Structure 1
């Protein structure tokens, strides 16, 4: 088994590495950057490409053009794509971030596995007071009829296109329990012979990951994790189920 985590030196991929290593074995998990993708790293023996959180504009700046086309070719030929938070935004046809505010970002995305929109941040969970993310928040998802806690860090809700002559063939795997209309939080679909799965929340964070991000130091840049409630309920079970959904 080979799992590649995209890195551009600013992506949130360290927690992913340890989570995937615990679930599928560290010997199977590797990092890949834009230069390596351009050099042909996405071979047919790669079981999964994971596009992590962070800020999608940094990823797009390196991948737009030939690299994104290689990712699409990889999935079309039978590969699997898992997008988490920022990796989900960039895999939707449109991104709407903090619309109407001073940090607004409205942009089309090249990957476009999902022809709808990624709309965030979700104001009930965190304010769009910067270009990157929001404070951490433990939300509850309705996944397969079960209440599943998951960490939110500025993710999106997924909105299908209002009019389309060719609707997406996609499935909603999870919805936000904490929102009145329960919008889609995790979706999946096919692309050619392969498949994609997009998660608004961060299923790679469990209680241990949050504990490792709590610090008592001067100038703590991660102080919101010290104040996070509900972290004790986080496990890697959801991530494991999403990997199984992708047959990984």
Structure 2
């Protein structure tokens, strides 16, 4: 009996050690107050078409579930797309925001695009002195500085009036990508300004890597940046690298003026998006 028990124990150990294990970890995309429907759909589609589905699921997550906190153990990343960050703050409250911050600090990944990028900075200065002004300190503080915007004038909520094809310059030394200039969909995003303020792309930082700059703006301020936060990493971008121009409404007058330009560069946008996701340890399709 003792020998049989030993054999069964060894067999059990063997089966456990060699059992097929799911490698999938979930990329969570915020869906709640502050998230705009079109931006949410673009981000979901962009991630689903870009990441390796054998490694990552892509699912939405509510503010209530973020507050509960159990999501963190299964997360490959948490993502916040376009919208308005005051909505994020109201819905998440201090507990939800702390859970995100703790998750990244312990080794997680955060992707913030447009409103999600403002949300991830230490300070936000949006339309300062204007009708849409939103200025103040933020609690995530993944980027130790300011996010200032909109970079280009004319932004209106729930409208494409202020949208444009923003030419960005990708920096090869930090982005693992050949230097190139590429137009990317933009609507209300900001640029990143170090503390003390320094808009120049060559500004060194031990905790941040500048990946791309706005190419047609004075002093070429930072458009995309990667930061280290504790054991984790974040990717913050003022331009919508996730937007597929083929999904834009070409009947909209503003979009019709530049959508073909975006389509002509879409293959490069997809490759850039892959490289950016790899910066936060996500596995992309080959």
Q: The TM-score by the shorter chain falls in which range?
A: 0.7 to 0.9
- Name the structure 2 match of 1:8: 32
**Deviation per residue, 1:32-51 (Å, 9 max, x gap):** 01101112243233111111
- TM-score normalised to structure 1 length: 0.87
> Please, which of 205, 209, 214 is the counterpart of residue 250 of structure 2?
214
Q: Which whole-Å CA distance do the structure 1 matches of 2:253 and 2:57 have between them?
A: 33
Contact 1:103 1:131 in 2 (8 A): no
Change (3 A) 1:135 1:204: same
- Name the structure 2 match of 1:98: 127
State the secondary structure of the residue aligned to 1:87. helix
Q: How does 1:1-248 map to 2 (within 5 A)?
A: 1-8=25-32, 10-11=35-36, 12-24=39-51, 28-123=57-152, 126-128=153-155, 135-143=162-170, 144=172, 145-162=179-196, 169-210=207-248, 213-215=249-251, 222-229=252-259, 230-232=261-263, 233-234=265-266, 235-248=269-282
Q: Which whole-Å CA distance do the structure 2 matches of 1:119 and 1:8 have between them?
A: 24
| Farther off after superposition, 57-66 or 75-84 | 57-66
Contact 1:114 1:168 in 2 (8 A): no
State the secondary structure of the residue aligned to 2:167. strand
State the secondary structure of the residue aligned to 1:20. helix
State the secondary structure of the residue aligned to 2:250. coil
Change (3 A) 1:168 1:154: farther
Query: Which segments of 5 or more consecutive residues in structure 1 lack a partner in the other structure?
Result: 216-221
- Name the structure 2 match of 1:219: none
Higher radius of gyration, 1 or 2: 2
Contact 1:98 1:128 in 2 (8 A): no
- Name the structure 2 match of 1:218: none
Q: Which whole-Å CA distance do the structure 2 matches of 1:5 and 1:223 have between them?
A: 30
Contact 1:188 1:198 in 2 (8 A): yes
**Deviation per residue, 1:54-108 (Å, 9 max, x gap):** 1111111112300000001110111000100000001111111111222221121
Q: Which whole-Å CA distance do the structure 2 matches of 1:202 and 1:62 have between them?
A: 23
Q: How many residues align?
A: 235
State the secondary structure of the residue aligned to 1:44. helix
How many Å apart are 1:214 and its aligned residue? 2.8
How many Å apart are 1:134 and its aligned residue? 5.8
What is the RMSD computed on CA atoms of the aligned residues?
2.2
Change (3 A) 1:168 1:109: farther
State the secondary structure of the residue aligned to 1:110. coil
Q: Which whole-Å CA distance do the structure 1 matches of 2:90 and 2:188 have between them?
A: 20
Contact 1:42 1:74 in 2 (8 A): no
How many Å apart are 1:129 and its aligned residue? 5.3
Structure (1/2) with the larger helix percentage: 2
State the secondary structure of the residue aligned to 2:73. coil
How many Å apart are 1:136 and its aligned residue? 1.6
